[in-house]
Chains A and B, each alone.
Chain A
């Protein structure tokens, strides 16, 4: 798959924790479209950091595992401190997101002068989560909306475009799963313009086994409640 390269004003931020099986492939695909790909290695023990580095990513490495929220915040800090990028795009490491979607979302943000673009798997019918998973995700969506006062059609979708001014207002403190609610809350509070954008979430066997298991949907739901 070829994607027309974007200008380097968008940096991809990929939190990585023990993704050695897929990280090289994901980074290589991403580098075809993004000049700078930052992998925040969250204390992986399987050599993910070296693989990402070899595949063309800049790697920032936590000395030990802190959780995805902490990794995202580290990525945000890196982009703000070390790059002049106008946008940062958060992207999952397990291969469930499409680089083409990330490119399209960054373009959408530029064209419509949006500070935030949230990826949503429920805006079109490309993504087909199974019945129970869909129910759990939808419950999490509803709860997140109650908590944040936003009206999103998807929750806990790792694909987001965040403009520099919005990123500067982020201060994620919830290290574990609850950061997905926290990030929506904090971005909403900036009162900067945002939109959702339809994306295709690919439930591969790997991503299913890794994170997007039904049990993880339960975690997502409980995190939304307990915060």
Chain B
């Protein structure tokens, strides 16, 4: 566990940093709870992977992947795609909210024709 202490320290610090950053945003209660549980699982797995690399490799071999590093890469790819999908959904939702808001603002102040021939 204590061989290569430097890289392990760096990675653990990085993981904790990301964890804190991810935890700062807030959303609906149920959604939030699920997200936090997944986060805890992620932290535990990340720590295990960093501190006990052979464990990751044995998990990789159990699922038919040669090296733990390959498994990590696959996991990362999947996670990234999930992130892209989630943020796309959120972006669309926000775009819609912005549209509705802008529309309400626009409708508050209709400008009548300036030639005065219109009763609006």
Contact = CB atoms under 8 A, between A and B. Distances in A.
Contacts of A63: 102, 105-106
Given A58-B120, A66-B99, A70-B99, A53 B114 contact: yes
B114 A54 contact: yes
A71 B114 CA distance: 21
Interface residues of B, number: 19
A177 to B, nearest CB: 15
A73 interface: yes
Contact of A53 (B98, B102, B107, B113): B113
Interface in A73-88: 73-74, 77-78, 81-82
Contact count band on A: 20 to 34
A61 B98 CA distance: 15
* Dominant secondary structure of chain A at its interface with chain B: mixed
B112 interface: yes
A53 B111 contact: yes
A175 B99 contact: yes
A73 to B, nearest CB: 7
Interface of A: 35-36, 40, 49, 53-64, 66, 70, 73-74, 77-78, 81-82, 173, 175
